Amino acid sequence: MQISPSILSADFANLQSELDRIANADWAHVDVMDGHFVPNLTLGLPVVEALAKVSPIPLDCHLMIDDPDRWAPMYAEAGASSVTFHIEAASDPRALARTLRQAGARAGMAIKPGTAFAPYEDLLSDLDMVLVMTVEPGFGGQSFMADQMPKVAQVREAVQRMGGETWVQVDGGVSATTIEQCADAGADVFVAGSAVYGAEDAAAAVDELRALALGHAH
């Protein structure tokens, strides 16, 4: 059960100290948005490269961008330990996942709430993680979509059936009140933004979320 706090909810003017606040987390979730794939613009390669040099924990980059086939490998080269592309934007997801692994990163595939998982099940052997979005990607602070839990369970079932080691990540509205149902459904990596960075003590919030998830581990 891993916690990946999203720096989308952090203070962008002080990212190094904000990463230090979550040094007890498993990952730092970095939301890259290009203003095209999603209607928001956040940060890109130069910032990821700088963060990778100072982060106390590995970077988990979630690319909400067009043309990830071209751009995603550069994030692996910039120092991201895990790089997740959106299946809706990738033209050759299997080749992209293999390229990410060759570049030394874990390869992740993200699916939006309206995207079905079944058509992509055969990609699992080339994926280290599947991210089931529990909000529409683009903005932080949105409310959790419980109707995505059957999809989380579907991904977990497929991973188990194929005997794989693929992680199942959830992102969007994950908090102390929603994380247990995510763990119950089969998620094992949890992205939390405001639930961590909105807390007085971010590290304590990370510990609390991990304990709640562990209590519901499969």
Catalytic residue numbers, as ranges: 31, 171
HSE-CB for 33 with a 13 A CA cutoff: 15
In the block, tokens 């602070």 appear at 141
d(CA 56, CA 52): 9
State which H helix or E strand residue 171 sits in. strand 167-171
Answer yes or no: are the C-beta atoms of 203 and 192 closer than 8 Å: no
Instruction: Please identify which residue in the block is written with the tokens 């909000």.
Output: 135
| Edge-to-edge strand ranges of the sheet holding 129-133 | 2-5, 189-192, 167-171, 129-133, 106-111, 82-86, 59-64, 28-33
Torsion angle of C-alpha atoms 72, 30, 64, 78, degrees rounded to 10: -20
Q: How many Å apart are CA 158 and CA 26, to the nearest integer?
A: 24
H or E element at residue 3: strand 2-5
Which of 205, 42, 144, 122 lies closest to 132 in space, CA to CA? 144
